[in-house]
Structure formats: C-alpha cells, structure tokens
Amino acid sequence: MHIPVLPKEVLEYLNPKSNENFIDCTIGEGGHAIAILERSGPNGKLLGIDLDSQQIENCKLEIENYKNRIILVVGSYTNLKEIIRDNNFGSARPVRGQGGSEGEQDEQGGQTSNGVNGILLDLGMSSWHLDDSGRGFAFMKNEPLDMRYLKDNELTARQIVNSWRENDIEAILREYGEERLSRRIAKAIVEARRVKKLETTTDLIEVIKKAVPRGYERGRIHFATRTFQALRIAVNQELENLKNVLPQAIEVLEPGGRLVVISFHSLEDRIVKNFFRDQSKDGVIKILTKKPITASLEEIKSNNRSRSAKLRAIVKT
Ligand SMILES: C[S@@+](CC[C@H](N)C(=O)[O-])C[C@H]1O[C@@H](n2cnc3c(N)ncnc32)[C@H](O)[C@@H]1O
C-alpha cells in the first residue's frame, strides 16, 4: 500500500473529530483518507476526489471497510465547488466552535456534522504513478513519455518535447523546473528530435545527459529531475489548478474548518504561502503553521518521497 506523507502531522492539523466531514481532494490510494475516516467515525463522511480514474480504482481496494462513509469522484479539484454541489456533500451550517449548531441526528442517535470540517490537498503524483503507472513519470524506468493524470488530457510530455517551439520548452524548464541549464537542454531536445522523435523516458534522459556537464547537480538530485518536474507540471497544469482550488477550499469550509496542503516543490509552496498570507491579512483565515512543517529524519529514511514535502495549514475564522 502507498505510505502517506506526513501522516501524523496531517491528523494533527486537520484534527478530525467524531462525525465530522472531510474532503480529500487528492485521494490517491487513500492512505490519508483512511486515517481521517478512522478518527471521524461512526458517521463522519469523506468526499474523495482524484483526477486519475485508475487511482480511484486503486483506492477502492483500500477503503472497503469504510465504503458507507465515503463518496469517490473522478474529477479535478479545480471543480471543487461543482463536485460538492453535484454530490450534495455538506451544507453551510456552522459546526465547530460556532455554538448553536444543530447537525443531523444519525440512525444511532449521534450528532453528525452537515458542513465541511476539513480539506486536504496532497499535491502532485503518488508513488503509484512513479512505480506502476507505466506513464513515464519516473526517469529510472523506460516508459512512453506520457505523464498525464487524466487519460483524456490531449497534451502529453511526448507532444511537448516533439512539437513545442524551443523557446516554449525553455520557458517551462526554467519556470516549472527551475532548471539553470534550461537553454542548453531545450536546444538539445530540439536538435535531437530533428533526427528522431523522442518517444520514451530513456530517449529524453539520453538527450539531457549529453546536454549537461558531467556531475551536474553534484549528485544532490538526478540530472533529469528538473526537466521531468517541468514536463509533468506543464502537462497537468498543476500550478494553475492549485491557484484555482485554494479560494474554493476556503469558501466551502465551515468556520472553524481546516485546510491542509502538502506541496513538493518551491513553486507550489510559494503559491500556498502567499495565498494564506493574503487571506490571513484579510482576516478570513488564521495560519496554523508559521513555517512549513517538514518530515522527520525517521520518516525520510522510511519514505523517500517525504524528503521534499512541506505542509501548511489554516483554520477558517
Ligand atoms: C500525492 S498523491 C495523493 C496520495 C494520497 N494522499 C494517499 O494517501 O494515498 C496525489 C494525487 O492527486 C491526484 N491529482 C493530481 N492532480 C489532480 C487534480 N487536479 N484533481 C484531483 N486529483 C489530482 C493524482 O492523480 C494523485 O493520485
């Protein structure tokens, strides 16, 4: 099973309580969702969203025990409000710390919340994408250059490297990959594709390898890491999606409800940090994490993916 990142910290900041409702905008294989459901029983509901239909199938295998309390939706969190409305999830009644809340009586006579008490965004790809999807997310494997979460998405990584103009490739390497050698790599890609189209991760790795000096990045990260990150962000419009979902998440939360975001690179973290700062200045939210929370050495040892994770959390006022 997928090991969720920062599991203890997610629970600490989301602080799920009995019979509360949560939205996991990136349910993946359900690691965090299960941890939340364990705390929100017996009647708390969870709306689980993932853009990748295969991930929803993977998740179904894991959440069997909770299926009466979970609604799974294949969709993008950019459509959060619409998904909530279509699934009639929660309603705008105050619950936490608002006094006078009158949630529904459930069949066992317990008090259930009607609103959304917490939202989780665990961004990017999952370890399943890297290890088993066969879609070219990992540079250690020879796979077709795809990198889509959504199969219907027209744009693929293959298309970008084989048909975009050199300047446009250079721009995404620089902006989304923060790649210092963006010019060199973009030039090398365009030269290589004149001879033969780049079809696989190995084709691309070979081109990057020739374009960068030996020992590039001094072993801190693989020399292709930034190019792969840039392509994945561009294919899936990850930064635009993040900018779109944050205001929706704040809007749909109950007062007293919490939003937790885990990001994996500085571009995402900056978007989250700036958005939270502005909203807190406006008095809409209170920031719970002055600095981003990162994984302990112990967690990093057992789950390498956690090494770049940064968690930020807020409570709606
Ligand atoms: C890091 S994984 C989540 C792992 C999950 N927290 C767990 O414990 O198993 C991120 C997930 O977000 C999904 N995703 C990426 N972009 C999305 C979007 N715009 N809308 C919904 N899901 C998205 C990916 O398909 C992936 O499954």
What are the C-alpha distances in Å from 248 to residues 9, 56, 232, 244, 299?
A: 23, 22, 24, 7, 31
pLDDT of residue 4: 96
Is there an atom of ligand 1 within 6 Å of 31 CB? yes
Strand arrangement of the beta sheet that strand 285-287 belongs to:
70-74, 46-50, 22-24, 116-122, 253-263, 310-316, 285-287
Index of the ligand 1 atom closest to the CA of residue 245 = 19
- Centre of ligand 1 to C-alpha 194, Å, is 35
- Stretch 100-122: mean pLDDT: 68
Is there an atom of ligand 1 within 6 Å of 52 CB? yes
Query: In this model, does residue 169 exceed pLDDT 80?
Result: yes
Domain locations in the chain?
A: 7-127+238-316, 133-236
Ligand 1 pocket mutation, candidates 126, 146, 261, 304, criterion most atoms within 8 A of CB: 126
Query: In this model, does residue 97 exceed pLDDT 80?
Result: no
Is there an atom of ligand 1 within 6 Å of 77 CB? yes
Query: In this model, does residue 146 exceed pLDDT 50?
Result: yes
pLDDT tens digits, 15-32: 999 999 999 999 999 999
**How many whole angstroms separate alpha carbon 297 and alpha carbon 299?**
5
Per-residue pLDDT band for 110 (boundaries 50, 70, 90) equals low
Per-residue pLDDT band for 109 (boundaries 50, 70, 90) equals very low
- Centre of ligand 1 to C-alpha 75, Å, is 10
- Centre of ligand 1 to C-alpha 245, Å, is 13
pTM score, whole prediction: 0.93
- Centre of ligand 1 to C-alpha 17, Å, is 24
Per-residue pLDDT band for 285 (boundaries 50, 70, 90) equals very high
Query: In this model, does residue 217 exceed pLDDT 90?
Result: no
Which residue lies with its CA nearest to atom 5 of ligand 1? 28
Per-residue pLDDT band for 252 (boundaries 50, 70, 90) equals very high
Is there an atom of ligand 1 within 6 Å of 56 CB? no
**How many whole angstroms separate alpha carbon 29 and alpha carbon 4?**
9
Is there an atom of ligand 1 within 6 Å of 29 CB? yes
- Candidate CATH numbers 3.40.50.2300, 3.40.50.150, 3.40.50.300, 1.10.357.10; the one for domain 7-127+238-316: 3.40.50.150
Per-residue pLDDT band for 242 (boundaries 50, 70, 90) equals very high
Per-residue pLDDT band for 135 (boundaries 50, 70, 90) equals very high
pLDDT of residue 100: 39
Ligand 1 pocket mutation, candidates 38, 47, 51, 306, criterion most atoms within 8 A of CB: 51
- Stretch 3-11: mean pLDDT: 96
- Do β-strands 70-74 and 46-50 pair in parallel, antiparallel, or remain unpaired? parallel
Burial class (CB in 10 A: 0-12, 13-18, 19+), 242: buried
pLDDT of residue 114: 76
pLDDT of residue 2: 72
- Centre of ligand 1 to C-alpha 29, Å, is 9
Lowest mean pLDDT among 98-102, 132-136, 208-212, 282-286: 98-102
Ligand 1 pocket mutation, candidates 34, 36, 47, 50, criterion most atoms within 8 A of CB: 50
Is there an atom of ligand 1 within 6 Å of 258 CB? no
Count of CB atoms situated within 10 Å of the CB of 185: 27
Query: Which CATH code fits 133-236?
Result: 1.10.150.170
Which residue lies with its CA nearest to atom 17 of ligand 1? 51
- Stretch 290-303: mean pLDDT: 96
